[in-house]
Structure formats: C-alpha cells, structure tokens
Structure 1
Amino acid sequence: MDLAHGGGNFEQRNVLHPPAVVLIPGLVMSFYVWLVLVTTIPYPGKIGLDYNTLGTDWMVFYGAIRSVLDGNAPLIFDGDRFTDFLNTNFAGWLSKPLEFRPWAYPPSFLLILLPFAPLGFFGSYVAFQVVTGALLAVALRSSAGAVLPSGALLVAALACPASAINAINGQAVFLVAALIVGGFGLLERRPYLGGLVLGLLTFKPQFCILVPIALIAAGQWRALLAAGSSALAMVIASGLIFGWDLWLRWFPLILENLSSPNQKWIEYGRMWGHSVYTCAILLGAPERLASWIQLLATLGAAVSVVIAFRSRLGTREKTAIFLAATVLAAPHSGPYDGTLLVIAAAFWLMARSAPLPLWCWTLAFMIWLMPLLSPPLLFPVARIVPLLPVLLIVLLLRPGVPAVAVRQAPAG
C-alpha cells in the first residue's frame, strides 16, 4: 500500500496548519493579488502590476480557435499579423495595445479550446478558469486521500498568488497541474488511465518533456504506451477536425524558433518569464551561455526525476519532484506557473513528520510569495526563482528526511 496516499488503514498526523507568523502574511498577500484581479478592469495597474486588462493570454487562445473556425487558420502562425488581429478585435477590452502575442502551441491545444469557443470571449475566459480549477480540485482531493486534509491543500493551491495571476492572465496552469497530479496519482492503481491523462500534457510541450523519462524510470510501460497513444490521438483528432495544414505549418515554425528564436518573442515573451534562461540573462550571462545553463538545468531536472521514480518514495513525493523539475526544465514559464511549485511544496510538507519546524513553513511561504515579486525583469530579487525548485528537489531526495508519521487504525 502507498503510504503517500494514506490508504484506508492509515491516517496522517501532519496537517497543513501553518503557524500564525506564516499564515497571516500569506493570507494578506493572497487577498492583495486577488484584489488586483478585481481592480484590473476599472483601474489597471493602480494597486499592482499593470496587467492591461483581464484575460490577455486568453485572447491568444480564444483568438486562435476563432480564427481557425472562421477559416483563417494561417493567421495564427504569423505573430505580427495575429497580434494586430487581437488588438483590433479586443480594442474595446484592452487598456492599451498588446506588444507581441504570437500563437506558439501545437494544433492539439485547439481541441481543448474547441468546447469553449461558442461562449464568446468573456464567457469562455470565465468558463475555462472555472472548469480547469474544478479539475485541479478533483485531482488534489484524490491525491490527498479520504483521511487527509484536502481542504487545506485546495486552499493552498487555488488561493495562492500564482493562481490569482493565472486567473488574471487567463492561462492554463490549473489544467497542467490537474493532469500532472491526476495522472501520476492514477499510475499505481490504473496505469493505462494515468498514462492517457499524462499524454494530454502535450498540449503544452514544455510541461510534458519529462513525462516519458518519469514513466521509463518507473518501469510503467503500459502507462508510457497509453501516454503515447493519448498524444497521438490528439494529433489525429486535431488533424481531422482542423485540417493537416495546421501541423504542416506548426512543425517548421517550432524548428525555426528552436534554432533561431524570434527576437520579438524573446523580448516581449521569454524575458518576461522566470525560466533559468531568463534569470541567467538578467544576471549578466551572454545569450549562448544562458542557453547552455538552461540545458544543464533541464538535464539536472531529468536526472532528479529518474532518481525519484526509481526510488521507494511515495506517490506524492514523486509528484512533487516532478512538479518542481518541470518548472526547472521549462524553457519558458511565467509567475502563474508558481502554482505548480506551491503544490510541490504542500506535498513536501505533507511528507514530513509533525511538528514542522519554522524553516519549513518559511520556505513554503517564499514559494507562495515569489509570484508577487515577478517578473524578474522588474524585480531583481525574483532572479533567484530557479533556486526554489532546486531546493525542493534536494529536500525531497536527500536521505534521512523524517517520513510522515503514520499509525495503523484500529480494526473494525
């Protein structure tokens, strides 16, 4: 039985109850960033970062699926024309024109967006956040088990500043987190279903690169086959529904961006994230060296995943390492992806024996807080963000960490 999931004969003593010195500032900071969401439409930038308006990333998603459905699919592969299209169609919603917002996702992402297209921009924006947030809640409740403090886990994940920023931008981190937590949570009991869920991560390629490595390291060959089948099914379905021309256009574009990235994307996209590459550039590294540092970080993340999934760690600890490693390995990530680290930190805390020392809560609070000090381009302190997933991985892998305290429940 997997103690990390707390089977029917076990209960966990460690509950996610932070001390007041951490809880109160955490709640205040969380309230503040959700207040930024409420005030962004009438007063963008008045009490925090100027996000322009709500749903600027969702404009890219919604604009892409509407363009394809309206018979103008080639538009989404021209970053400048597509940005002009967004600025024209959402002029009444934007407080100022967008600088550069290209579509860089595979056509399979359009399958996920398709059910939301008939709802209009605002309706689809709200519905996507609600539906994906609900999926994450289901995945987290399942990972917590019947006897664990799932309520505290849900609050930690869904109320954190990173999740508020995800809602402000209209991003998809709730869905990414739900697929990772849900997929790995199913592996031991239902490997085929777990693999099918993990294969859906290919809608955002930067978050699926470590999936086959984890499954191979764990010897989960059935899940690996299912993940490949799931990814292939998305390719075939998107080709049949939207036309194969989308894939024929997307592959050369991605290869071109890998070998010679669009400088506008680097300036207006990648440099506003907090990947290892971005932080290395902002710390003074030349572009080529920063690319090598990012590659080394990706390789290190892959090694940590191999070690974790070949070990006897519980499912939650392995998932936490995968979440942290995914953020570390991603060539582009934003402050909203901090939700993945918050979940990883919560799983790490749940894996330790009670009572938790203050330094554990302090580290978790730093992970909770960091999205408020992003992006690194504006806040130099945020340039240490890549150290947080590294520290989490080391703490989860190091030998001699106290295991979660469990005891056998009385029979009957």
Structure 2
Amino acid sequence: MNRAPDKKIELPPQLNLVVKRRPQLRLILIGVIILYVVFYIQWIAGTEHHSPFKDFVAFYAAAEMVQQGRAEMAYDRPAIHEAEKRLAGFDCGIFPWYYPPTTLLLIAPLAWLPPLLAFAIWLLLPLSCLIIIIRRILPDSLTVLLVLATPVVFTNFVYGQNGYLSAALFAGGLLMLPRNSAIAGLLLVTLAYKPQLAFLVPLALLAGQNFKALAWWLAGLAGWILLSLMILGWASWQGFFEGIYYATNAIEAGAAKLPQMSTVSSAVLLAGGEPWLARVAQSVMMLLGAAVVVGVWRRREIPDDLKNAVLMVASILIAPHAFRYDLVLLIPALAWLCLAGLHTGWLPGEKIIYLIAISLSFFTTAVNELIHFTLDPIVIAIVLGYALYRCRLWAGGQEAQYSSARNIVR
C-alpha cells in the first residue's frame, strides 16, 4: 500500500512573513547576498595579508596538534601562533586557544582534511543545519533568503567562526526536546564546547522538569570529559584552566577587542569601569538571567517556542565572553518570537528592535568605539524584555490564539 505523500507545510496567510511585495523583497534579499559575496571576494583579493580562513586558523591548528598527539600544545601561545602563521602563509596575528579539551575532540576530524575543504565544511555544514532548523520554525518560502541575508550570518562567515555551529546545536536541541530527550540532551551538551553559552541549559531543563533530557545532558558531559582525559590527558585540562585565567586578565587589562564584544563586562570596561565592577555587573546579569530562565521554564502554560526564545536570548546576555559572531544565536530566538508576532500581532517597536538586533554585528563596533560603550547588551536585553512580555501575556490568557499557530506550523 502506497503511503500518501506528505503535504507541503505552508503558513496560513496571516502568518506569512511578508504578505505584500514578496517578489520585490526576494530580489532585494538576493541582491544583498550577492553584495556579501562580492565584498568577501574583494576583501580576500584586496591584499596579500587577508586569509580566507581568518579565525579558523586557530581551529585547524588545534586540530592538527590533536592529530600529532600533542593536544596540550594548543594552549601554548607561541606554539599555536607558529602553526597559525604556517597555515595562513603570513603572520596573521595570534588567535589563542581558550576552548576546553572536549572541543579538541569535536574539531579533531578537521585535520584529516585539506585546510580549504575543512574550512568549507566547518562553515557550510552547520549553516545548512541552521537553515533547516529556521525553516522548521518558520516554514515560509523567504526564510532561507532571510537567513542568508542576515548581517550576523555574513559576519560569522567572514570571521570563519563557530556561530553557525552554536546556534544549530542550541536550537536543534530545543526543537528535539519534546520529541526525543536523548537526542535533545546530547545536542545541548555538545553546545558546552563553548561553556559560556551553555550555563543556563541545565537550569532550564531542571526547571522545566525535562529530567530525561537533563540525565542525557549530564551523562554526555561526563562522557565528553572522561573521553578527553583518556585521549588527551590531564595536561590539556591544565592548559585550559591556565588559559582561562590569562584570557580573563587580558580582557580586564584591555588587551581584547572590547568594541567587538557583546557582554555586560565589556560595556563596563569600555566605559572606563574598573575590572572588579565589570565582574560584579556580569555576575549580577548571570544571576538575573538564571532567575528569568527558571521562572519562565517552570511555567507549564507558557509554550515551548517562547521558552526557547527566552533561554537563547538570556544565554547570550549572561555570557561572560561573547563576540559579534556569537549573535548568530539570536536568529532562532527571533524566529520563535516572529512566529508569535506574525500570528498575534506585533508589539510596539518590536520589529524595529529585532531588525537592529540582527544587524548589531555590522555597526556596533564603530559605534562602540565612538561612544566608549557597548550597545549590544542593551539591545539584547530589550529583545529579552519583549520575549518576557509575551510570556506574561500568554500566562494571562491574552494570547489564546498562539497555540493554534503552533499546531498549524508543526
């Protein structure tokens, strides 16, 4: 007996991302993407000291060190600098390795591939997964073009960074949470390759009584750590802890590129605040973020979409170490919030704030340098405020139509 073909998922008219002038918008988005490509090619070809790999040299160099059986050398600044220079073909500056040894296990297969192929897979595979996830959240024909035209997506590509991977793991794990606790837990624990983005995940799982997913998360974390100790040894962990101490001191001393960071502590430091004040401000933000996430995730009447958005936005806001490319995490969060807005109506100023949020990576560095302050946490906090307000409306029964939207889309 033949199985009936699946019906193509289409948003009802009231949920279309754009109702009018869709062809014109499609052409505009394609034009933006073409401009990105042209700019990138000209940037690479414009000078002999522009490597297409950019920050990726650190990931490939660290993967090579794992392959060579000297993983602990990834935390040796002179050693990894030499490897990066060899890969780039010139002195591209040092990109220190501050990731935990578990990340070395994750990226080790890259060293088995030629650098250019590894670079392409590093960017395109997680980007493709992220696009599929966003298309699942907002199944509109313009979704793919909107994602590719988002400024922060281009920023991450130019940097050769891991924003796509972080967003895909985070959003993918949250999407799988109601469907498969094991896969969800393992995806979310893999996000801990970047620990600063994963702080709130176990709290959310515990508050939401997702005990099976939490058990898989804890088992996966233990597994990653034990495996790294068995394969890479304790020396790698020792190098990691020493590197964290060095990185913290470097940031507080102003050695890091503070205008390119998106944290509360960077805003305080850029404004001339003392390191202790930056630490206090960041700690307060982390406590507030944890309280917000626990408060939202423990409410059963709030839909998963809004919970997911709150968790992802709060995770960016409380991160003690985050750069512009990490703002890719806003894309799935904003997709969930846009789903609510498209069905129940937009709140005042909501669309403008979301547009500014996804464009932060383009203009805030110059603005931050000019005003000696970081705007990113303010914009991200406003986005979180909109998400929390929607949670409040839902808890008060004022968004009763939202559940029907979720059923239609899913």
TM-score grouping bracket, smaller chain normalisation: 0.7 to 0.9
Give 1:299 shift. Answer: 1.6
What is residue 391 of structure 1 aligned with on the other side? 382
Q: Which amino acid in 1 is paired with 2:285?
A: A
What is residue 199 of structure 2 aligned with on the other side? 209
The alignment's C-alpha RMSD in Å is: 3.3
Q: May I ask how many residue pairs the two structures share in their alignment? A: 387
Give 1:211 shift. Answer: 0.7
Cα 1:400–1:358 shift into 2, 3 Å? closer
Task: Select the structure that is richer in helix.
Answer: 2
Per-residue deviation, residues 251-289 of structure 1 (Å, max 9, x unmatched): 3443x347x623698513555322111122222322221
Cα 1:214–1:225 shift into 2, 3 Å? same
Cα distance in 2 for residues equivalent to 1:373 and 1:330: 21
Higher relative contact order (CA 8 A, sep 6+): 1
What is residue 107 of structure 1 aligned with on the other side? 101
What is residue 400 of structure 1 aligned with on the other side? 393
Q: Which runs of 5+ in 2 are unaligned?
A: 1-8
What is residue 64 of structure 2 aligned with on the other side? 66
Q: Which amino acid in 2 is paired with 1:334?
A: F
Per-residue deviation, residues 58-92 of structure 1 (Å, max 9, x unmatched): 100000110222234333212244224322x0352
Q: How does 1:107-256 map to 2 (within 5 A)?
A: 107-142=101-136, 144=137, 148-254=138-244, 256=245
Per-residue deviation, residues 327-355 of structure 1 (Å, max 9, x unmatched): 10111212112221233222112112355
State the identity as a percent: 24
**1:98 maps onto 2:72 in alignment:** no
Cα 1:239–1:205 shift into 2, 3 Å? same
Cα distance in 1 for residues equivalent to 2:132 and 2:145: 13
- Cα pair 2:200 2:290 within 8 Å, conserved: yes
Cα distance in 2 for residues equivalent to 1:274 and 1:374: 9
What is residue 285 of structure 1 aligned with on the other side? 273
Cα distance in 2 for residues equivalent to 1:409 and 1:163: 29
Cα distance in 1 for residues equivalent to 2:380 and 2:183: 28
Cα 1:184–1:82 shift into 2, 3 Å? same
Q: Which amino acid in 1 is paired with 2:386?
A: L
Q: Which runs of 5+ in 1 are unaligned?
A: 1-7, 46-50
What is residue 48 of structure 1 aligned with on the other side? none
- Cα pair 1:373 1:382 within 8 Å, conserved: no
Cα 1:212–1:175 shift into 2, 3 Å? same
Moved more, 289-298 or 27-36: 27-36
Give 1:38 shift. Answer: 2.5
- Cα pair 1:349 1:360 within 8 Å, conserved: no
Moved more, 391-400 or 380-389: 380-389
**1:372 maps onto 2:372 in alignment:** no
What is residue 39 of structure 2 aligned with on the other side? 36
Give 1:290 shift. Answer: 1.7
What is residue 332 of structure 2 aligned with on the other side? 343
